[in-house]
C-alpha cells in the first residue's frame, strides 16, 4: 500500500517549467520565485550576470539562458521542482527534453512584444506533450506594455481557450496593482524594492465595472467546460469563489484551458500570485496520465503510475559533464523508489548500471540525498552508458518508456585542433559534448578529411566552441558554416536490387523489388512491407529496411541525406542456403541507390521563419536587404513605435545577417529566426552545389 505521507507529499508536489521567447523574462521570473520561496536570500539579475539559474560563463556574458537549469523550492506547504529553459531557438532541445518530463508549465509573455515566434514554438512543444500551462504576461512596467493586446494575441495565435484570471490596474510607470477576478479583490504593491509588502484591498470604484465584465467572461468560459458551473450559470444561481476555483482547476487540468496572469518580475510585482496559481491550478504527479511504455519481451503496452509501490521506472532527460563530480545524469522518476548504490537496468542500451551518488540540483550546485521517489526530478553520478532519452527500470520488471525526439541539425562547420597537443583532447571534448546535447552531431567527412560539427544555428556552434576552450581547455579552429541540405525525389519508379556473390563455400544471395514514391512533406523515410506468400522470409525484412535507411543517409546528387520518400517492398526472392541478412541489406542499398537516380532527385534547402523588428526609418533598407537574400515577405505589422516583418528565408543566405542588420539600422533593429521547412533550391544554385561535390558554404579551416 502507498503510505498516506507519500501520497500527501505527491499531492503537494509540482514539477513545472518556465518557457518563453527569448528576453520575455523567464530567468528574471525564476530568480524572483527563488527569492520569495526563501531558496536564495539575494535577488540575482540577468543583466548583471548574477542570476542563480544562469550559472554558465557564456550565459552570464550574453545575458541569455543556454542550458535548462533545475532547482527545488517550497511555497507554503508545496514542493516545486522548477526548470528554467532557454528561449533561443538554437537551444530548442533543452525545452523539448524539459517538457517531456514536466507536469505543468508557466509560459511567460512580454507585455510589449506579445506572442513572438519562439513563444509559438515552445507553446506547440507543450501541446505535443499535453502539458497544462499558465500564461504570465510579464513586463507590465515597460513602455508600450499592452496586457489586453497580448491576451488577444494568445487567443488568436495560440489557443481560444485562454482567459485572464487577473487584470492590471495601470500600465508602464503607473502599473501598481493587480485585480484578482476569482476573489474580486485588488492587490496593491507598496513602494518596496523587494516586493515583499503588498496589501489586499477592495477594488477601486473606477475599476469595478471593468473587473465585473472580465469576471463574467471568465465564468462564461468555465461554464462551457464544466456541467456544474453550466447548471448554476444557466439557472442564474450565485457562483461562489469556491465554485470558480474548482472549475478553474478542472478546466486547466482536463480541458486545455489556460489562465492568464500579469505582473512585472523585474519590479517584483505579481510573482507571489503566480506561485499561488502554480500550486492551485497546475497538476501534481498523481494528476497526470500514467507514463506509457511497452514490455520489451512481449511488445505489450504497459503503464507506470506515480506510486512508490510500483516497480522503479525513470527517464534520463539530460547528461551534463560536471568538472567536480564527472558525468551527471538528470532523470524523472515515474514510479518506484531509487536508492543510492542500487543497480538499475538501462533497457534502451541493454546494460545494467550502478547508481552512485543521488543529488537534487539547485542550478549547478548539488544536494546529496539518500533516495528519490515517484514524481521526483533529480540527478545521479555513476551512470556510464546512459544517454538522453534512455529508460532506467527495475531489472525484474522491464519497461521501455517513450523516448524524446529531437530536430535534426540545420548547420555544419569544419573543425580542427589548433595544435598537435589539442588533437587527442579535441576528440574527447567533442564526444562529451555530443553526449550532453542530442542536437549536436559530430561526423568525419572521408572525402575532404575534415571533422564536421553540426547544430541548430550559428550561436549553438559558437557556444560549443567556446565551451571546448573554457571547460576542456581545447583550442580549435573552425571553418565557415555549411548548410544541412537534403535530397528528395520528384517521381515514382520501380527498381530491382540484387546482391549475388558465388565463392568456394556458401555464397551470398539477396533479391528485392521496391517501389519508390515521393512522400508527404516532413514524413522522412516511410518503409512499407507488402511481401506476401513468403517470397522473402520474414526474418530478412528488417535487414531490407536497415539497408534502405542506411542508403538514405547519402543521396545520389551530392551525398546529402534523403527525406520524404515512401519505399514499398513488394517482391523478391531468396536462396535456401546462400541468403543472409547481409545479402538482403546490400540488395536493398543497391536498389535504393539506383532508384534515387531514376526518380528525378532534387536538392532541398532549409527555409527559416524570420521576424525582424525595425524602426520605421530603416524599413526600406532592411526590406531591400531581405529581398536580396531571397526572403519571401509574408506580412508587415506595427507593434507600438516599430514595424515587424514576418517572412521565410533560405538559411544559406543568412550567415552574418546579425552584423548586417546592425549596420543597416544603427544597432536599433533585431531579429529572430527558426527552422520552418525544406524546399527545392533554384536550379542554378543546385548545379553549383552539386558541381562542388555538395560542400557549398564549407570554408577552409
CATH 3.30.230.10 at 490-600, yes or no: yes
Cβ burial 25-58 (10 Å sphere, 16+ → b, else e): bbbbbbbbbbbbbebbeebbebeeeebbbbebeb
Element (H, E) at 513: strand 508-518
Residue 512's pLDDT is what?
A: 95
CATH 3.30.230.10 domain range(s) in the chain:
490-600
What is the architecture of the domain spanning 4-287? Answer: 3-Layer(aba) Sandwich (3.40)
List the one residue out of 574, 592, 570 whose CA is nearest residue 583.
574
Strand 391-393 and strand 291-294: pairing? unpaired
Count CB neighbours of 677 within 10 A. 12
Residue spans of the chain under pLDDT 50: 1-7, 46-50, 54-55, 695-701
Half-sphere exposure of 404 (CA within 13 A, CB side): 28
Residue 38 dihedral angles phi and psi, to the nearest 5°: 80, 10
- Pick from 599, 602, 588, 601: nearest CA to 517: 599
Residue 503: Cβ within 10 Å count: 8
pLDDT of residue 506: 75
CB 515 within 8 Å of CB 586: no
Q: Are 351 and 385 in contact (CB under 8 A)?
A: yes
Three-class SS of residue 699?
Answer: coil
Find out whether 161 and 135 touch, Cβ atoms under 8 Å: no
| CATH superfamily label, 411-483 | Elongation Factor G (Translational Gtpase), domain 3 (3.30.70.870)
* DSSP characters over 291-313: EEEE-TTT--EEEE-S-TTSPPE
**CATH assignment of 604-680?**
3.30.70.240
Alpha-carbon distance of 307 to 290, in angstroms, equals 10
Question: 619-628 and 657-665 helices cross at what angle (nearest 10)?
Answer: 150
Contact 115, 109 (CB under 8 A): yes
The span from the CA of 503 to the CA of 510, in Å, is 15
Residues 6+ apart with CB under 8 A from 474: 417, 422, 425, 426, 429, 468
What top-level class would CATH report for the domain 291-401? mainly beta
CA distance 138 to 18: 12
Q: Residue 281 phi/psi, 5° resolution?
A: -115, -25
In degrees, to the nearest 5, what angle opens at C-alpha 365 toward C-alphas 47 and 58?
35
Query: Start-end ranges of CATH 3.30.70.870 in the chain?
Result: 411-483
Q: Which residue ranges does the chain devote to CATH 3.30.70.240?
A: 604-680
pTM of the full predicted structure? 0.74
The count of other CB atoms within 10 Å of the CB of residue 350 is 10
Provide the sign of the torsion angle of the four alpha carbons 367, 370, 375, 379, taken in this order.
positive
**463: Cβ contacts below 8 Å, ≥ 6 apart:** 58, 66, 90
Q: Cell match 495565435: residue?
A: 157
The boundaries of every CATH 2.40.30.10 domain in the chain are 291-401
Predicted pLDDT at 163:
95
Alpha carbon distance 700, 480 (integer Å): 7
List the strands of the sheet with 525-529, edge to edge.
Answer: 493-501, 508-518, 565-573, 525-529
Cell of 296: 520489451
Amino acid at each position: 500500500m502507498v503510505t498516506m505521507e507519500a501520497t500527501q507529499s505527491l499531492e503537494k508536489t509540482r514539477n513545472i517549467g518556465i518557457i518563453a521567447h527569448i528576453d520575455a523574462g523567464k530567468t528574471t521570473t525564476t530568480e524572483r520565485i527563488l527569492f520569495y520561496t526563501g531558496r536564495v536570500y539575494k535577488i540575482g539579475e540577468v543583466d548583471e550576470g548574477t542570476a542563480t539559474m544562469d550559472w554558465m560563463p557564456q550565459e552570464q556574458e550574453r545575458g541569455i539562458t543556454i542550458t535548462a537549469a533545475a532547482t527545488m523550492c517550497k511555497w507554503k506547504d508545496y514542493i516545486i521542482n522548477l526548470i528554467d529553459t532557454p528561449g533561443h531557438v538554437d537551444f530548442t532541445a533543452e525545452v523539448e527534453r524539459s517538457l517531456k518530463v514536466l507536469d505543468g508549465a508557466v509560459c511567460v509573455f512580454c507585455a510589449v512584444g506579445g506572442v513572438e515566434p519562439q513563444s509559438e514554438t515552445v507553446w506547440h512543444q507543450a501541446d505535443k506533450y499535453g502539458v497544462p500551462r499558465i500564461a504570465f504576461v510579464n513586463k507590465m512596467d515597460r513602455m508600450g506594455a499592452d496586457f489586453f493586446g497580448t491576451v488577444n494575441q494568445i487567443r488568436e495565435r495560440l489557443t481560444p481557450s485562454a482567459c485572464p484570471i487577473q487584470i492590471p490596474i495601470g500600465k508602464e510607470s503607473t502599473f501598481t496593482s493587480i485585480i484578482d477576478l476569482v476573489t474580486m479583490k485588488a492587490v496593491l504593491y507598496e513602494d518596496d524594492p523587494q516586493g515583499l509588502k503588498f496589501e489586499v484591498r477592495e477594488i477601486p470604484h473606477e475599476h469595478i465595472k471593468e473587473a465585473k465584465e472580465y469576471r463574467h467572461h471568465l465564468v462564461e468560459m468555465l461554464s462551457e467546460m464544466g456541467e456544474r458551473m453550466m447548471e448554476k450559470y444557466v439557472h442564474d444561481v450565485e457562483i461562489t469563489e469556491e465554485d470558480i476555483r474548482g472549475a478553474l482547476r478542472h478546466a486547466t487540468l482536463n480541458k486545455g484551458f489556460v489562465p492568464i496572469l500579469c505582473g512585472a518580475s523585474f519590479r517584483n510585482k505579481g510573482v507571489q500570485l503566480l506561485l499561488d496559481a502554480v500550486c492551485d491550478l497546475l497538476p501534481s504527479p498523481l494528476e497526470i496520465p500514467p507514463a506509457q511504455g511497452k514490455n520489451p519481451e512481449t511488445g505489450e503496452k504497459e503503464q507506470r503510475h506515480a506510486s512508490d509501490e510500483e516497480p522503479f521506472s525513470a527517464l534520463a532527460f539530460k547528461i551534463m559533464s560536471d568538472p567536480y563530480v564527472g558525468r551527471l545524469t538528470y532523470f524523472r522518476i515515474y514510479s518506484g523508489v531509487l536508492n543510492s548504490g542500487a543497480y538499475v537496468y538501462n533497457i534502451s542500451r541493454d546494460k545494467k548500471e550502478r547508481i552512485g551518488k543521488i543529488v537534487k540540483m539547485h542550478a549547478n550546485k548539488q544536494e546529496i540525498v539518500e533516495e528519490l521517489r515517484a514524481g521526483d526530478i533529480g540527478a545521479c553520478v555513476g551512470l556510464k552508458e546512459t544517454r538522453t532519452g534512455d529508460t532506467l527500470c527495475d531489472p525484474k520488471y522491464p519497461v521501455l518508456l517513450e523516448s524524446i525526439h529531437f530536430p535534426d541539425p540545420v548547420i555544419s562547420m569544419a573543425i580542427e585542433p589548433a595544435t598537435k597537443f589539442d588533437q587527442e583532447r579535441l576528440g574527447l571534448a567533442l564526444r562529451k559534448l555530443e553526449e550532453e546535447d542530442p542536437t549536436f552531431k559530430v561526423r568525419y567527412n572521408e572525402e575532404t578529411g575534415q571533422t564536421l560539427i553540426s547544430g541548430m544555428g550559428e550561436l549553438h556552434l559558437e557556444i560549443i566552441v567556446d565551451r571546448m576552450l573554457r571547460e576542456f581547455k581545447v583550442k580549435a579552429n573552425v571553418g565557415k558554416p555549411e548548410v544541412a541540405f537534403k535530397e528528395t525525389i520528384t517521381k515514382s519508379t520501380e527498381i530491382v536490387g540484387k546482391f549475388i556473390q558465388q565463392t568456394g563455400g556458401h555464397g551470398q544471395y539477396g533479391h528485392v523489388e521496391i517501389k519508390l514514391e515521393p512522400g508527404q512533406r516532413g514524413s522522412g523515410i516511410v518503409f512499407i512491407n507488402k511481401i506476401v506468400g513468403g517470397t522473402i522470409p520474414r526474418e530478412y525484412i528488417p535487414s531490407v529496411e536497415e539497408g534502405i535507411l542506411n542508403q538514405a543517409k547519402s543521396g545520389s546528387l551530392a551525398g546529402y541525406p534523403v527525406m520524404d520518400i515512401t519505399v514499398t517492398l513488394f517482391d523478391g526472392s531468396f536462396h535456401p542456403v546462400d541468403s543472409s541478412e547481409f545479402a538482403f541489406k546490400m540488395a536493398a542499398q543497391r536498389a535504393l541507390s539506383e532508384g534515387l537516380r531514376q526518380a528525378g532527385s532534387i536538392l532541398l534547402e532549409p527555409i527559416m521563419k524570420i521576424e525582424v523588428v525595425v524602426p520605421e526609418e530603416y524599413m526600406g533598407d532592411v526590406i531591400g536587404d531581405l529581398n536580396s537574400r531571397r526572403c519571401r515577405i509574408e506580412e508587415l505589422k506595427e507593434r507600438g513605435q516599430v514595424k515587424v516583418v514576418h517572412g521565410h528565408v533560405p538559411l544559406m543566405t543568412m550567415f552574418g545577417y546579425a552584423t548586417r542588420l546592425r549596420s543597416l539600422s544603427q544597432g536599433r533593429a533585431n531579429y529572430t529566426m527558426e527552422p520552418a521547412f525544406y524546399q527545392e533550391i533554384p536550379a542554378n544554385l543546385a548545379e553549383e552545389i552539386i558541381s562542388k561535390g555538395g560542400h557549398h558554404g564549407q570554408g577552409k579551416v
